[in-house]
Structure 1
Amino acid sequence: MLEIAALSHFYGKHQALADVRLDIASGEIVAILGANGAGKSTLLKSIAGLVTPTSGARIRFEGADIAKLPPHQIVERGISLVPEGRAVFGELTVAENLQLGAYPARARAGEEQRLAKVLALFPRLTERMTQAVRTMSGGEQQMVAIGRALMSNPVLLLLDEPSLGLSPLLSREVFRALAQIRESGVSVLLVEQNARASLDIADRVYLIESGRNAGTGSASDMKNNPDIQRAYLGKARAPTTASQPSP
């Protein structure tokens, strides 16, 4: 579905991405793990057309090169981004935010059915349709942001730190929704600080360090990797042989 190769990007003289490669198949959840400043958000913005990669980058979506397309054309192809910080329209109501998501031409047919699916995914939005989004909790705003993206009828959903600032309860609700979104046939590319929750729902994982690929594998293998456990899951290093008691 999505194939990326030789993807690089500079902010001035700072290289944020260096020859990154990645692919995601239809129906997958792929997680991207890495430290703050590793280039994860820039990667998502490059796919969404919000930043321009250096010459030679290849971003192919469903067989077509989208590396030089403007953001609105990428949305029309079926890619939707939920950015870090949500970027909802706070003065507008929930209903108005969701209606804006259905603006692309690809989304206008079946808008009512898609809205029903969004409200089934996030039932608490049903009773808040006339509420100004700025008056809602962070978790509810995140539901609006994800719902708005789904209203564009995507086949690939990009999410940048969807649980950032949310309570554990609301984080679990968001991750439950992401698993359901995948079951509906939408692929998900996920950047998320909560590595444990990401690994629980992802099929595969890419590691990004200093803007470069640092490893990839299945989520189950990554969860059992001692280096991944120490770096991302908060597990302590096992005792050395010298400190083990004698048999």
Structure 2
Amino acid sequence: MLEVAGLSVQYGQHRAVDGVALTVAVGEIVVILGANGSGKSSLLKAVAGLQPPGVQARVTLAGRQLAGLPAHAIVEAGLALVPEGRGIFGELTVRENLLLGAFARRARADEARNRERVLALFPRLAERLEQTARTMSGGEQQMVAIGRALMSAPEVLLLDEPSLGLSPLLCGELFRALGQIRGDGISVLLVEQNARRSLAVADRGYLIENGHIVGTGRAQDLASDPAVQRAYLGGARRA
């Protein structure tokens, strides 16, 4: 289980995240919903070791303290981030991007098996293994980014706005893939603009405003909450 407590992120005098606490259980999809600038991406970066999480922060995975470790050590512990914007190596091929994902010591022994799982999850990558990543569509590049993260054999996958800029068709493929990833026992902590689709696939959710968690609950309860509908789902549903 991933447990976060007392996590804060500060940029100069601005505190983007303030004392956040959350949990993600084994094989669970948890979504974080919030407006632009509410601290969602800063939260994920801090959990992944790309931003200082504050001196009081506690970030543990299966009981191991991760707060304060460098990002590469956090990957070795079993946590992988797919950042907003994907962050793939555009001049490398799909195969080479996936191979880099398996650089972590924890992943090397099972590299071939993990690659098979990624290509089964995203069959179109199997057709494009030798294609240069920058020549692919945005949706295909997102598959490469998620596949590269999965090659590190994570216990928890952090996803920052994975459907941003994708067509409805590819968006559907992405959310179906999240269900399969959960089925493999990998937990997912998801920041996502598409609140309706993310709540449909998630088990639980958190609401964040101005760097503070202001609500939490089962995904189906949040989806039916009139306040959540007004704020994130385009208005309350009519009876």
- Per the normalisation by structure 1, the TM-score is 0.95
Query: Offset at 1:62?
Result: 0.9
Query: Offset at 1:222?
Result: 0.4
Query: Offset at 1:61?
Result: 1.3
Shift in CA distance, 46/8, structure 1 to aligned 2, threshold 3 Å: same
Partner of 1:243: none
Partner of 1:136: 136
Partner of 2:155: 155
**1:120 correspondence with 2:120:** yes
Partner of 2:182: 182
Partner of 1:107: 107
Q: Output the CA distance in 2 between the equivalents of 1:54 and 1:176.
A: 35
Partner of 1:70: 70
Q: Read off the aligned partner of 1:59 and give its amino acid letter.
A: V
Deviations 1:58-88 (A, max 9, x none): 1111101110100000000000000000000
Q: Output the CA distance in 2 between the equivalents of 1:53 and 1:199.
A: 27
Partner of 1:42: 42
RMSD: 1.1
Q: Output the CA distance in 1 between the equivalents of 2:151 and 2:39.
A: 28
Q: Output the CA distance in 1 between the equivalents of 2:71 and 2:17.
A: 19
Query: Offset at 1:57?
Result: 1.1
Query: Offset at 1:236?
Result: 4.7
Secondary structure in 1 matching 2:170: helix
Secondary structure in 1 matching 2:127: helix
Q: Output the CA distance in 2 between the equivalents of 1:146 and 1:215.
A: 28
Secondary structure in 2 matching 1:185: coil
Q: Output the CA distance in 1 between the equivalents of 2:173 and 2:38.
A: 27
Partner of 2:98: 98
Contact 2:227 2:236 (C-alpha < 8 Å) held by counterparts: no
Count of aligned positions: 239
Q: Output the CA distance in 2 between the equivalents of 1:55 and 1:205.
A: 26
Q: Read off the aligned partner of 1:66 and give its amino acid letter.
A: L
Deviations 1:78-136 (A, max 9, x none): 00000000000000000000000000000001111110110000001111000000000
Contact 2:47 2:53 (C-alpha < 8 Å) held by counterparts: no
Q: Read off the aligned partner of 2:233 and give its amino acid letter.
A: L
Q: Name structure 2 gaps, 5 residues minimum.
A: none
Partner of 1:208: 208
**Quick check: which has more Rg, 1 or 2?**
1
